[in-house]
Chain A
Amino acid sequence: MEFQILMNRIQSTVGRTILLVILALAGISCERNIDLNLPPPQPHLVVYGVVEPDSLIKVSISRNSAYFDPVDLNAVLNLLDYSATITVQSTDSLGQTELDTLKPLLFPALPILQYWTVFNYQGTKIRGRHNRTYQIHILHPDHEIVGETKVPVPSRIDSLWVRSRAFLQKQANPSSQPTSRDSQLVQLFYRYRDPQAPGDHVRVFSRIQNEDQWSTAFNSVYDDQFFNGQSLDFVLPRGKEAYLFNDSTTFDEFGLFRAGDSIQIKWASIDRTNFLFWSGLAQATGGSGGPFGAQPVVTTNLRALRGRVLGLWAGYGSVHYSFKVPERP
């Protein structure tokens, strides 16, 4: 069932509802533009490093910018930083140590860079392995950063299936009259059997046939706090980036796949710091805060020995699944 969606709603709806009700009841609230004089920002190094099974390590290094600085694609590129020396180390249970010094990618792949990360450093030796821990060290003229992450052993999805929007509309309201288009749009479901031990965290990605980048829902991570050890059905929504990228996708099909799509799913077990980072990021971009919510702070699992750092050193214990949506779902 749409457990994910509802839990997301529950977590965000109460605060927003409170605000909406107040504003609606007041009916007289007023909003005005104002000028803010924010203090000059303190420079931070922004790090996103990824280690996955069977893949070379990738790291993005960039800087933060003043809050009201212009924001465009050039600004994004200009914030990339190549002044770092990055090493990654991992030691196995026998005491064998792997060491990798990453090389800068002066001409990194620029997919649709406003939606995806530009990795400007890449490893040359280490390929990620399940159940291994990786330490990163970043030496930069203004910063020295360290961090550690683990590539967990992945949990598994039991099964996948789809339901057309027409079917779901009829289920919700038997008197509804779906259109033919509703029959061509589908919701992807999966059944997940959570391991008995508590503390499982997952990040879920998806893409379809002609896409080379993974996309995620607004809140892409889940933990088993409410269903530890149980088997449940969930919705797997189409990622937000896909919607933003593909001009032919309209808002009313947000989160849905189409008949005939070849869907690929990356199911990645993650550790708790990784989970907290993405949860905080979802809150931060989801409009939390205001008068009734604390300003969400996006945490980091990196530590600055010198200077300041933002971002994530992420181990993804990932497995992949494929699903072909029938032409007539």
Chain B
Amino acid sequence: MILGSWVPVFGLGHSPDITAPASSNPEAEDLDKDRIPRYTLSGYLRGQSGENLVGATIQVLAQGAGTVSNAYGFYSLMLDSGEHTLLVQYLGYQKLTKTIRLQRNTQLNLVLEESVVEGTEIVVEGKRADDNVTQGRMSVNEVDIRQVKSLPALMGEADILKTIQLLPGVKNGGEGTTGFYVRGGGPDQNLILLDEAVVYNASHLFGFFSVFNADALANSQLIKGGMPAEYGGRISSVLDLTMREGNNQKHVTQGGLGLIASRFTTEGPLKRGKASYILSGRRTYLDVLVDPLIPKDAPAKGSGYFFYDLNAKINWQPSPKDRLYASAYFGKDVFDFNNRENGFRFSIPWGNSTATLRWNRILSPRLFANHSLVYSDFEFGTRFTQNDFTINLNSGVRNLTFKQDFDYQLATGHRLKFGSQLIRHWFLPSVVEGRAGDFDIATNNIRRLNAVEWSAYLRDEWDISDRWQVNAGLRFAVFQQYGPYSYERYTDATLVTRLDSVGFGPGEKVVRYPAWEPRLNLRYLVDKQSSIKIGITRNLQFIHLASSSGTSLPADLWIPSTLKVRPQIGIQYAAGYFRNFRDNTYETSVEVYFKDLQNQIDFREGAVNGFNPLIENDLVFGRGEAYGMEFFVKKNRGKLSGWVGYTLSWTNRFFDDIMKGKPYPYKFDRRHDLSVVGTWVQSPRWKFSGTFVYSTGNAYTLPESRYFFEGQIIDQIGERNSFRLPHYHRLDFSAVYTPNQERASDAAMGGGRRRYKGEWVFAVYNVYSRLNPFFIYLDNEGSLQQGTLQIQAKKVSLFPIIPSVTWNFKF
């Protein structure tokens, strides 16, 4: 398999060894005659279908040295001239061992073959087998997308975010939801990237499904702490997802029919080995199925709900040194409700759009450059109509980003990464526009907020000695809000007496926040099987999610840092001990962390819910802290594979304006959180998976007493989050049946014989039908006047046992 005429390509375990021809040594890196000359070995790591392999490890076996492919699959190593044996490993792919003879700078693309189940053993070729011990970075989890697809899922919809929730240090947002909360952080403190584009709201159906179609994803990486310097703008975590690039060797079609949605993906070469495309879509069809059942004259005819996703990507390699990518995502939820009887109609659409253009260029064997132009957008709308009254409420956020990243291999075991980023932000926190008969309503309250963010960073990853590795980074960012902007000043904190209004013209600087964001990670290798790592990170976050619900909803508003809203600051200290057993069959780790969260935002007690163009006036500011300990045991090989993760944690908030500064637990403060994930390969045809989760109940606020006021019974709310919901636990199970690995189909779909592969995924969510609490409320029944008023606490549970079946196909 030749990917290009410029380099020899190895892979699939059967390529011949290479001898780079000896020549004069103009490229030798070290001309000292007493020393062995050194050369650079560089290139791309790719899968059989041409996909870049991100984060794959290349290890030089005799030396123990190695490197990791970057976000675009590029690697670079400096080695002595002579013979070397390389070991290349990547999550979900078979190991590749290759011997080369290096006598000049050499560019070498390597192709890895996907892992397949052979017999009844599975080997999760996660990466370099001892990667978790030897890599300097910590608090990082990579999730194999194939594993996501085989784990049991709610209503059969495989979901990367729900798999991530099973990792230690990550908590879910509630029964069945995709929101995730990392080490005591809030929902807006996770930087969710899809092909470098920010995804502001990663959920469909009010949080029950994520926007990520597993068929369109290639890689996923969750960074819970010690974020590398190239990432900025969030203080809790980074979830970096990469879209698949499409098979550049052959045309492939795959899809699936599920309980609530169907998926369809097509990919293939535009120019074999040089350019490829992928197009992937998903849509729910509950509305389509239900609509015919609703009578034409029913008042609610026309009501319905659906969501869809569309992922598209093309890539092209115009020259051996250049590669271009264009990718996009469009997703939308639409909820319509009609009531013909009173002429009332409303529609709630919301969705994300992203687009990414990237240009990779190998400037030299040791210097790799990427340039990206990225667009992200999230919009939420509500349209109400009754008779001749119409009102639209809209909110949204978008950005346009230009960034440059450079990877420079200074020496073997010493790598620099540096770059810069320019982001133009637009915010539309809340807009109300409407018409009542001949009147226009409130068209003067549109408040678009503008900001620019610029940042530059340098990261140095250096193996100081055989035992010590340092990973240091520094990021400098400047966030500037500019006009038009106005805010109202009050003489008192409760906003009773308005003093005046301060305005800024278009383009006028409102406020500027410069920030230094240093980070340092150290690794000490105790022996070949164990290491100790420590890290400290300081991050700033310039944009914020104003949420009155405590969980992420599409109606929540993104707002920038302004004169009044200061950037959030997160400082995290972490330390961990990592040890592998039985030839890396078992990975184990213990990590402890402490996180200091400054300038946190919340709604003022008694703030009026709703769309408020002056939302800053309803916010209060405080700090938070989170600390805990995470235990992780993972089994990589054998018939049984999987992991056990346990987190013991605390997270509190301190706001002067909430409970008079008294600390209170964060909504997702859960003392204990346990996840058990296992996969059992029974045979090539049958694979079984199960997950079990247990966690302390959510912190919850309940009334403490009641009082009578103007004839109404009013709850006096107790201390915030001082009550605990019952413990949560649940067992899920799935079985994947692959009836025929392949079979010939006739030519009905386009002629010729095609290879067809199908599989059935049977899943059961909540096997023992545990009625976990979704929420609790207090209900008044009866009449005060008749003396029959009764107060009863009620628990609402959402999902009992739910079986599902999904059929997946590929040809």
Contacts and interface: CB of A to CB of B under 8 A. Distances in A.
Is the A/B pair a real complex? yes
Interface of A: 1-3, 6-7, 9-11, 13-15, 17-18, 21-23, 25-26, 28-36, 38-39, 41-42, 44, 46, 48, 62-68, 71-73, 76, 79, 112-117, 168, 171-173, 198-199, 225-228, 230-233, 241, 271-273, 276-277, 279-281, 283-285, 288-299, 301, 310-312
Chain A CB count within 10 A is highest, among B439, B716, B777, B791, for B716
A184 to B, nearest CB: 19
Given A25-B305, A272-B495, A298-B606, A17 B389 contact: no
A312 B712 CA distance: 14
Q: Which 6 A-B pairs have the closest CB atoms?
A: A41-B705, A299-B606, A172-B343, A115-B711, A11-B610, A1-B436
Given A227-B442, A232-B441, A22 B798 contact: yes
Contacts of B386: 2, 6, 172
Contacts of B21: none
Given A1-B387, A64-B716, A293 B613 contact: no
Nearest to A213: B711
B507 interface: no
Interface residues of B, number: 90
Contacts of A227: 441-442
B782 to A, nearest CB: 9
Chain A CB count within 10 A is highest, among B340, B714, B802, for B714
Given A3-B436, A72-B784, 17 more contacts: A14-B382, A32-B794, A32-B797, A38-B703, A67-B715, A67-B778, A71-B789, A73-B787, A76-B784, A112-B711, A227-B442, A273-B494, A284-B715, A289-B777, A293-B548, A294-B603, A299-B605
A2 B609 CA distance: 20
B95 to A, nearest CB: 44
Interface string B547-559: 0111101010000
Nearest to A221: B608
Interface string B763-790: 0000000010011111000001101010
A31 B555 CA distance: 26
Contacts of B341: 172-173
Contacts of B611: 10-11
Contact of B709 (A30, A38, A48, A297): A48
Contacts of B702: 36, 38, 295
B387 A172 contact: yes
A67 B705 contact: yes
A272 B388 CA distance: 31
Contacts of B771: 30, 32
A289 B796 CA distance: 13
B705 A66 contact: yes
Given A13-B346, A115-B711, A284-B715, A225 B800 contact: no
B739 interface: no
B707 A64 contact: yes
Given A292-B551, A295-B717, A28 B800 contact: yes
Contacts of B787: 72-73
A73 B785 CA distance: 7
A26 B798 contact: yes
B464 interface: no
A296 B656 CA distance: 18
Contact of B606 (A35, A231, A276): A276
B391 A6 contact: yes
A31 B794 contact: yes
Chain B CB count within 10 A is highest, among A291, A292, A293, A299, for A291
B389 A2 contact: yes
Interface string B430-444: 001000110101101
Contacts of A23: 798
A6 B339 CA distance: 14
B120 interface: no
B704 interface: yes
Interface in B302-353: 305, 335, 337, 340-343, 346, 348
Interface in B273-312: 286, 305
B708 A44 contact: no
B707 A294 contact: no
Contacts of A63: 707
A113 B785 CA distance: 9
A28 B259 CA distance: 15
B437 A233 contact: yes
Contacts of B798: 22-23, 26, 28-29
B1 interface: no
A306 to B, nearest CB: 15
Interface string B736-780: 000000000000000000000000000000000001001111100
Nearest to B775: A291
Contact of A76 (B343, B488, B708, B795): B708
Interface in B414-439: 432, 436-437, 439
B794 A294 contact: no
Nearest to B802: A28
A117 B711 contact: yes
Chain A CB count within 10 A is highest, among B286, B609, B614, B718, for B609
Given A225-B613, A226-B445, A310-B716, A116 B710 contact: yes
A114 B714 contact: no
